[in-house]
Structure 1
Amino acid sequence: MLSMMYLLSILGLASVAVSAPNAVKRAQTVYLAGDSTMAKASGATQGWGEYLKYSLSLSVSNKAIGGRSSRSYTVEGRFQAIVDIVQPNDIVVIEFGHNDGGGLSTDNGRSVCPGAGSETCTSTYNGQTVTVLTYPAYLINAGKALVAKGAKVIISSPTPNNPWESGTFSYTPSRFTTYSKSAAGQIGSNAMFIDHGQYTANIFQTLGKTKVDSFFPNDHTHMSPAGADTVNRAFVKAVLCAGGGFLNGFIKNSTNSVEGTCI
């Protein structure tokens, strides 16, 4: 009887082994959602997202698109496209703000409804009546959909325009920084806020006017490759100073190896 039970046990294990799918350990992917300051570019300018792969041991997929806002990125289905492919423990960095301002009197398809919460606006875009949400609402909706798929979300404040363009250094965080922090908090424990704008501004202040002016070859928003690389390092510094967050253990740099100070 004992030998028969042993045989049945062995056969049962063999059956499980044959029927079980091959277990493949999968590395996490970092997805980037943002505008031209993050997106891949060419020529005299580049987005900072193109340099993040050199600072991480994880694969980075840059889904940022120039000219987009939190609203247009949503309406075009770009957030949904990331939701559709994201897998548990993937990390999504979201950074908008440069194209979200302006008014809705002449709707460009990018401006968001003013407000810090669930306010809505009715607008006319391309001859159609549309409902426009606030900046935090677009981020919260996207963040919660990503988290529902098991992803982790990093909401990042927008990078600054050239803070030296007036001749002296001047940086004041926009309302989108406050909104970004609020959105991360409302998404929950699987989201974190990184003040990328302030860390970038601090490094720009230390570098001085001549150096920073060279980072903006065409206008006060879009950066040269060297500038974009510096802005990437500011992001990495901010994450390191936050203890690494969801990227803890995957950042190649040490805190002290990246310029700037923790705030």
Structure 2
Amino acid sequence: MEDRWFTVTEIDPTTYAISEYGHWEKVHSFLLLGKEQAVLIDTGLGIGNIKRITDQLTDLPIAVITTHVHADHIGSHGQFDTIYVHKEDEDWLMNGIQGLSLAQIRKDMSRDLTLTPPESFDPSTYTPFQGKPTALLQEGDVLDIGGRKLEIYHTPGHSPGHISVFDHAKGYLFTGDLLYDVTPVYAFYPSTSPEDLVASLEKIAHIAKVTQVFGSHNTLGLDPSILHEVKQAVRALREQGLVAHGTGIHRFNGFSVQF
């Protein structure tokens, strides 16, 4: 599939990454197809309408699972009828993202573009989605989309209601902004929690039968061996007393964190 803004990668015949490589954040959203419905994990930046892509990939009804409420993950939420979010991020979805001004969000959306955005994108009027979710998620929820069960892990730190999603059928672990490579995973804003982020990293590192890790930025698909590195990083951060705002960037084998 060719598109001016989005890059579609088939991970397998029922799983697609929809990526925005023309933006400096290199955001990935993920479309998962079941036998009865589909799930879209996040809706991207909102620079382009991601629904024009999902409409070409499936006729199944689509439910949106929000890993967390930051502007680069909820950009096209308004194009879908069914939206899930963790209860701790519900307020941000309805009333705006805490700790980030609209001016800063617009600046971040429009800078360092390497592809020409769609003509409909106007950074001066860009406004993050706000609206009421269809339903709230919590730790341990399982969504069965027909032969494919998706388990919700509450993994706060980057935001209060950040979640990770484990696909039991495939062994795929979708980690949102909790774990990715190249640029630092961060918890340095006042609205973040380094302590919660490290606890969340520890939680996902113990999920069994992970075959591939999919973060929401940078490299598309990481070997599950990175979870072993995460266990060691968690131990080192705690032992060295680094789990606190202002301690800077901490680099490990395959990823880094910034507090």
More contact order relative to length (CA 8 Å, sep ≥ 6):
1
TM normalised by structure 1 equals 0.25
Question: Which structure's residues are more often strand, by fraction?
Answer: 2
TM normalised by structure 2 equals 0.25
